[in-house]
Structure 1
Amino acid sequence: MKAAQIRRQHLVSQVLLKQFTMAGLDASGRQLRPVDVRNPERRNKLASTRTCGWADTFVAFDSASAEKLWDSVETRTPAAFEAVRAGTPFANPLHVEALRDLVVLHYVRSHRYHSVYTNAFEAVSTKLRGQLVRQFPEELRREALRQTRLHLDGSGPLTAFAERLIEQSEVTQEFENGKLFRTSIENMFNKVRAEAAKWRLEVLTPESGQFLIGDNPAVSVRTDRKPFSYNMAVGDAHSIVLPISPRHLLALGRDNLVGTIPRAAVNDLNTVQIRAADQYVYMHPQSTRLEAFARDTATRWRTDRTDR
Structure 2
Amino acid sequence: MEKHISRQHVISQALLRRFADPGNKQVGVYTVSTGSVGQRSPKSIGFVPDYVSHKSWAAEKLWQTVENRLTPAFSALDAGPDALLPEHLSAISDCIALHFSRSIQTRLIHESSFSNVEQAVFEDQQKLKYLALLKHGLYLDAPDVLESIAHEILQELREGNASGELFQTWLEEVFQRTCSYLEVGRVTIYHCDKDTELVLGDSPSIGFRPGMHPTDRVALYDAAAILMPLGPRVLASIDWGRSDLPLETLRREHAVYINRVQAVQAHSRIYFRPTSGLADLVRTYRPPSANYPAGKA
Q: Same fold (TM over 0.5)?
A: yes
Conserved in 1, the CA contact under 8 Å of 2:9 and 2:48?
yes
Number of the residue aligned with 1:115: 108
Instruction: Please state if 1:92 is matched with 2:85.
Output: yes
Unaligned runs of 5+ residues in structure 1 are 145-151
Instruction: Please state if 1:134 is matched with 2:126.
Output: yes
Instruction: Please state if 1:217 is matched with 2:204.
Output: yes
Conserved in 2, the CA contact under 8 Å of 1:239 and 1:253?
yes
The answer to which structure, 1 or 2, has the higher relative contact order (CA under 8 A, 6+ apart) is 2
Seen in structure 2, the aligned counterparts of structure 1 residues 138 and 124 have a Cα distance that, compared at 3 Å, is closer
Mapped partners of 1:44, 1:24: distance in 2: 19
Instruction: Please state if 1:242 is matched with 2:228.
Output: yes
**Equivalent AA in structure 1 for residue 219 of structure 2:** A
Number of the residue aligned with 1:154: 142
Number of the residue aligned with 1:149: none
Counterpart selection for 2:283 from 262, 278, 295? 295
**Once the 2 structures are TM-superposed, how far is the Cα of residue 168 of structure 1 from its aligned partner?**
2.2
Mapped partners of 2:269, 2:235: distance in 1: 18
Conserved in 2, the CA contact under 8 Å of 1:200 and 1:253?
yes
Seen in structure 2, the aligned counterparts of structure 1 residues 143 and 24 have a Cα distance that, compared at 3 Å, is farther
- Let me know the Cα RMSD of the aligned residues: 2.6
Number of the residue aligned with 2:177: 191
Give the structure-2-normalised TM-score: 0.87
Mapped partners of 2:30, 2:150: distance in 1: 42
Conserved in 1, the CA contact under 8 Å of 2:131 and 2:149?
no
**Once the 2 structures are TM-superposed, how far is the Cα of residue 18 of structure 1 from its aligned partner?**
0.3
Number of equivalenced pairs:
284
Seen in structure 2, the aligned counterparts of structure 1 residues 258 and 68 have a Cα distance that, compared at 3 Å, is farther
Seen in structure 2, the aligned counterparts of structure 1 residues 33 and 159 have a Cα distance that, compared at 3 Å, is farther
Number of the residue aligned with 1:148: none
**Once the 2 structures are TM-superposed, how far is the Cα of residue 136 of structure 1 from its aligned partner?**
3.4
Seen in structure 2, the aligned counterparts of structure 1 residues 89 and 248 have a Cα distance that, compared at 3 Å, is farther
Conserved in 1, the CA contact under 8 Å of 2:53 and 2:163?
yes
Mapped partners of 1:281, 1:190: distance in 2: 27
Mapped partners of 2:187, 2:259: distance in 1: 19
**Once the 2 structures are TM-superposed, how far is the Cα of residue 159 of structure 1 from its aligned partner?**
4.8
Q: Secondary structure at the match of 1:9?
A: strand
Number of the residue aligned with 1:72: 65
**Equivalent AA in structure 1 for residue 27 of structure 2:** L
Conserved in 2, the CA contact under 8 Å of 1:201 and 1:254?
no
Seen in structure 2, the aligned counterparts of structure 1 residues 140 and 200 have a Cα distance that, compared at 3 Å, is same
**Once the 2 structures are TM-superposed, how far is the Cα of residue 143 of structure 1 from its aligned partner?**
6.2
Give runs of aligned pairs for residues 42-57 of structure 1, distance below 5 A.
43-57=36-50
Seen in structure 2, the aligned counterparts of structure 1 residues 275 and 202 have a Cα distance that, compared at 3 Å, is same
Counterpart selection for 2:263 from 271, 274, 278? 274
Question: Percent identity at matched positions?
Answer: 26
**Once the 2 structures are TM-superposed, how far is the Cα of residue 293 of structure 1 from its aligned partner?**
0.5
Seen in structure 2, the aligned counterparts of structure 1 residues 258 and 100 have a Cα distance that, compared at 3 Å, is farther
Question: Once superposed, which parts of structure 1, at least 4 consecutive aligned residues long, lie more than 6 Å away?
Answer: 141-144
Mapped partners of 2:15, 2:147: distance in 1: 47
Give the structure-1-normalised TM-score: 0.84
Conserved in 1, the CA contact under 8 Å of 2:128 and 2:150?
no
Instruction: Please state if 1:35 is matched with 2:23.
Output: no
**Once the 2 structures are TM-superposed, how far is the Cα of residue 141 of structure 1 from its aligned partner?**
8.5
